[in-house]
Amino acid sequence: MKKYIEPKLASGFRDYLPSDAAAREWMVETIKTTFKRFGFVPLDTPGAEREEILTGGDPEFRKQIFKLNLSGQDEKTALRFDLTVPLARVIATYSNEIAKPFKRYQVGNVWRGERAQAGRFREFTQFDADIVGAPGVEADAEIISLMYETLAALGLENFVIKINNRKILNALPDYAGFPENKLEKVLRIMDKLDREKWSGVEAELASVSGAALKKESIRIIGNFLELKGESKKVLKEAAVLFKNSSIAEEGILELGELAKDVEALGVPAGNWAIDFSVARGLGYYTGPVFEAALTDCPEIGSVFSGGRYDGLVSRFSSVNIPATGASVGVDRLFAALQKMDILPKFNSGARALILNFDEASRGFCEGLATELRRGGIATEIYLGQEKNLKGQLNYAIKQNYPAVLIAGAEERKKGIVQIKDIKNRKQEAVPREDILNYLKNFLGVR
C-alpha cells in the first residue's frame, strides 16, 4: 500500500485559498492606489541578498534570518528580512542614477525565523513606502499622513498611529541612570508595551540577564512612559524631564514640528498620538518612529510601522543620505481584517458564468465568452462534471455569480441569451447582439 506524505504546512507559513487570496489582492491594490496618490513609484529587488548586506557585517546580528545553502557556491546568501535594507543597497549602488528626493513603494515577501503566533508568520508580505533624500520632519509627517490615508481607505476607523523619537530614547541611560550598553535591550523590552501590561515589562527589566536594572531606574522609566495626552502637554512635560540632555531636546523639538505638520496634513486628532513607549526593534532608526495599532484588535500588534533611518545607506557608501518610511505588515493586517470581518467577500473572479449543458451549443458559448472577455467583462464557461442545466445552475447559485448566461439550443434558435440575476431571482431574454452592452450596464462595467 502506497504511503502518502502528510500534506502539512511548515510552522509559521500559510496558504491563501481563492476567496482569501482575492480579498488579500483587493487589500494590496487598495494600498498601492493610496501610495500612488502620494506620488510613490515602484521598485523591485531580489528575495535573496548577500548575507553581509542584511547583517551589516555585525557578528552580533540578532535577527533570525533564513540562510541559503547553495551547493558549489562560496558566497554566503540569505533571504531578506525586510525591504528597507535592500532599498539602502539600491540607493548606494545607483545613487547617481536616482533623482532625490526619491519616493518608492515596494511589495514583496520577507522571511524571519521567529516563533510563529497569531498574526505573525515566518514568511510574510511587506508593503513599504519610503522617501529617500528628504532630511526634514515634513517627510516624516507625509509618511504618517500616508499611514492614515491607507488604513482609512481599507475601511478602518478605530486605529492610532503612535509617534516617538529615538533621540529621546537615546537619552534614557543618563536620565534613568543605567549603562548605555543596556539601552538596546531596554528598548526591546519597552517595545512590548503594545501587547503586555507594565507589570510584565517591569518584571522583565528587573530580571533579564544582561539588562537587569536597579529599582530606581525602572521607576524612572515607568514615570517617563506614563506621559500621555495632548501632544503639546506631553512634549512640555518631557522637556522638563530631559532639560539637561541636548539629544533629547533635539528629539522633543522634532516631535513638536512633526505634530504641527501632521495636523496641517489633516490627520484627525483621534488617529495619532505621541507615545514614548514606541521604540521599534530595529537599531537603524535615528529620529521619529511610528507604528499603527488597531483599537478593535490590539492583540495583533502593530500593522503599519516605520521611522527615520538617516544612517542606513552609509553602511554601503560614504555618501550620507537621509531617509524615512513605513511598512505595512500585509499578512498581519489581513489577519486583523479577517478577525474583524470587514473584508469584502469574493466567491469567484468572474462576474458572468455561461452554462455549458448542450454539446451542440458549445461553440456558440465559447464565442460569446470571448466577446464578453474582450469587452472587459470577467467571464467563465462552466467546465465541470455536471452535464445538465439544473446541476450547473445549482453550482452557479452556490458560487454566487452576479450574472448567469443560459445559451442552449432553444436560445440559439431564437437568437437570444437568457440572463439570470441570481441575487434578485430574475431572468431576462436578451438579443444576442445586445449582450455585451446589457451586461456592462447590469454589472456596472465601464
Q: Which pLDDT tens digit goes with each residue over 178-190?
A: 888 888 888 888 8
- State the pLDDT at residue 282: 62
Name the packing angle between helices 215-225 and 198-207 (round to 10°): 150
pLDDT tier, 212 (very low <50, low <70, confident <90, very high otherwise): low
Residues in Cβ contact with 441 at an 8 Å cutoff, skipping those fewer than 6 apart: none
- 19/157: higher pLDDT: 157
At residue 184, the pLDDT reads: 83
Torsion of CA 5, 7, 12, 14, to 10 degrees: 160
Run of H or E including 41: strand 41-42
Mean pLDDT of the chain: 90
Among the residue ranges 12-26, 86-100, 202-216, 219-233, the one predicted with the least confidence is: 202-216
Q: In Å, what is the CA distance from 316 to each residue of 135, 196, 326? A: 19, 37, 21
Instruction: Kindly list the structural domains of the chain, giving each domain's residue range(s) and its CATH number in brackets, ordered by start.
Output: 18-339 (3.30.930.10), 352-443 (3.40.50.800)
Percent of the chain surpassing pLDDT 90: 61
Write the pLDDT tens digit of every residue in 271-314: 999 999 888 766 678 999 999 999 998 888 889 999 999 987 88
**Poorest-confidence range of 4-13, 139-148, 206-215?**
206-215
Read off the pLDDT band of 354 (50, 70, 90).
Answer: very high
Q: What is the pLDDT of residue 353?
A: 96
Q: Out of 63-77, 225-239, 383-397, which region has the weakest mean confidence (pLDDT)?
A: 63-77
Cβ of 210: how many Cβ atoms within 10 Å? 7
* CB neighbourhood size of 268 (10 A): 11
